[in-house]
């Protein structure tokens, strides 16, 4: 079972709540936004009420773009309400007003395959004929100058777009390759008015890369390995998370049927607590600088997702050694699942992310 102190769990929960509050930005603080006209000239911030919602009004001409000051993000979730006339959108990872990823909505094309579109904006170009359906355009139930809600989740190279609180995304794509992998957030209106309300932005945890994995050790009925096992490792193999943020250990073992140690070095500029978000298959122990923080020795075989579990990492200034002692799902099937004549793990891996 999980062995995690109540204090550790509460600290992680409190830090998660504080982080969410700290990075939720209300749009109506005028000093937080820089407004530009379609001619890239400074413009007036229009704070208005539209259909009973306090909102930012972009006319599309005198007020074309609103850039959120002092914000640079890679992975994030953004929630907002939009009421648009022709084209209303969100730019992200913006280097400047000419280079960014752009997601926009065409309310007049609601319930058609052109209702939502994503394009990369390179040097001011709106490449709308180059990136289109069935991948970069999709449908949504939206109407002109009528409020709808959208949530945008960007993790590494993936973007999901949810409209009107849908539990499944209307758009789920990989972003087009670009040089702007982190940057600012902007709102944009084209060819008519748009209103934006209830804007909330929060960073999402980022996957820990550059893991090293030991050779396999024999499995036992319980995950009885301790931190002292690290000194018994004969060789380390480098591995990085894949596009799904999964550190998939089956990639590096020809016959994955054991227990292994994965380690990652975290550099910290000060003594501080940082949140570790993780999920896994099988059994798992987590150590930081030799101290056990988490222990699960039952057999876990559930679909894994980003951020299922959260604990606090008490980092010290300098280099910190994070250790995962991990076992996959072989014991769930007894001696393993038959993989064309041999018994072995079928699911062996984990997701590990930190809040920056």
pLDDT 10s digit of each residue in the chain, 356 long?
A: 344 444 444 555 554 544 444 444 444 688 899 999 999 999 999 999 999 999 999 999 999 999 999 999 999 999 999 999 999 999 999 999 999 999 999 999 999 999 999 999 999 999 999 999 999 999 999 999 999 999 999 998 899 999 999 999 999 999 999 999 999 999 999 999 999 999 999 999 999 999 999 999 998 888 888 999 999 999 999 999 998 899 999 999 999 999 999 999 999 999 999 999 999 999 999 999 999 999 998 889 999 999 999 999 999 999 999 999 999 999 889 889 999 999 999 999 999 999 87
The helix/strand/coil state of 246 is: strand
Contact 276/310 with Cβ under 8 angstroms? yes
pLDDT of 223 reads: 83
What confidence score (pLDDT) does residue 28 get? Answer: 63
- 348 vs 130, 252, 282, 327, 354, CA distance in Å? 39, 11, 7, 7, 21
Q: What is the CA radius of gyration of the chain?
A: 24
Domain residues of the chain, as ranges?
23-203, 206-354
CA–CA gap between residue 61 and residue 162 (Å, rounded):
28
State the pLDDT at residue 257. Answer: 93
State pTM to two decimals: 0.81
Say what the pLDDT of residue 225 is.
87
Residue 16 is given by DSSP the state H
Answer yes or no: same fold for 23-203 and 206-354: yes
pLDDT at residue number 244: 87
Fold of 23-203: Jelly Rolls (2.60.120)
Indicate the fold that domain 206-354 takes in CATH: Jelly Rolls (2.60.120)
| Residue in this structure with the two tokens 């006209």, named with its chain if needed | 37
Select from 315, 316, 305 the least CA-distant residue to 352.
305
Q: How far is CA 124 from CA 39, 95, 103, 127, 180, in A?
A: 12, 11, 14, 9, 14
3-state SS of 139-198? CCCCCCCCCEEEEEEEECCEEEEEECCCCCCCEEEECCCCCCCCEEEEEEEECCCEEEEE
Structure tokens at 292: 């056990």
């Amino acid at each position: 079972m999980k062995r995690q102190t109540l204090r550790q769990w509460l600290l992680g929960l409190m830090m998660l709540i504080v982080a969410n509050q700290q990075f939720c930005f209300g749009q109506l603080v005028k000093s937080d936004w820089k407004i530009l006209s379609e001619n890239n000239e400074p413009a007036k911030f229009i704070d208005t009420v539209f259909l009973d919602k306090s909102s930012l009004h972009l006319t599309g001409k005198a007020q074309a773009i609103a850039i959120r000051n002092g914000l640079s993000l890679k992975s994030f979730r953004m929630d907002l309400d939009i009421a648009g006339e022709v084209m209303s959108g969100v730019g992200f990872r913006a280097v400047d007003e000419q280079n960014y990823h752009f997601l926009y909505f065409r309310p007049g094309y609601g319930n058609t395959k052109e209702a939502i579109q994503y394009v990369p904006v390179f040097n001011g170009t709106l490449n709308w004929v180059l990136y289109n359906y069935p991948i970069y355009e999709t449908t949504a139930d939206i109407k002109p100058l009528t409020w709808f809600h959208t949530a945008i989740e960007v993790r590494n190279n993936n973007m999901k777009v949810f409209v009107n609180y849908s539990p499944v995304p209307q758009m789920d794509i990989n972003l087009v390759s670009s040089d702007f992998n982190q940057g600012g957030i902007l709102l944009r209106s084209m060819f008519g008015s748009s209103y934006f309300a209830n804007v909330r932005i929060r960073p999402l945890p980022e996957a820990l890369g550059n893991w090293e994995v030991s050779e396999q050790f024999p499995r036992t009925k319980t995950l009885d390995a301790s931190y002292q096992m690290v000194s018994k490792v004969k060789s380390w193999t480098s591995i990085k998370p894949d596009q799904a943020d999964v550190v998939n250990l089956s990639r590096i073992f020809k016959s994955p049927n054991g227990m292994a140690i994965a380690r990652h070095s975290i550099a910290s500029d000060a003594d501080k607590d940082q949140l570790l978000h993780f999920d896994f298959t099988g059994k798992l122990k987590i150590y930081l600088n030799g101290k056990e923080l988490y222990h699960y020795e039952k057999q876990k075989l559930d679909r894994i997702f980003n951020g299922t579990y959260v604990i606090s990492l008490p980092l010290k200034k300098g280099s910190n050694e994070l250790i995962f002692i991990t076992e996959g799902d072989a014991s769930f099937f007894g001696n393993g699942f038959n993989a064309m004549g041999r018994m072995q793990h079928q699911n062996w891996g984990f997701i590990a992310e930190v809040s920056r």
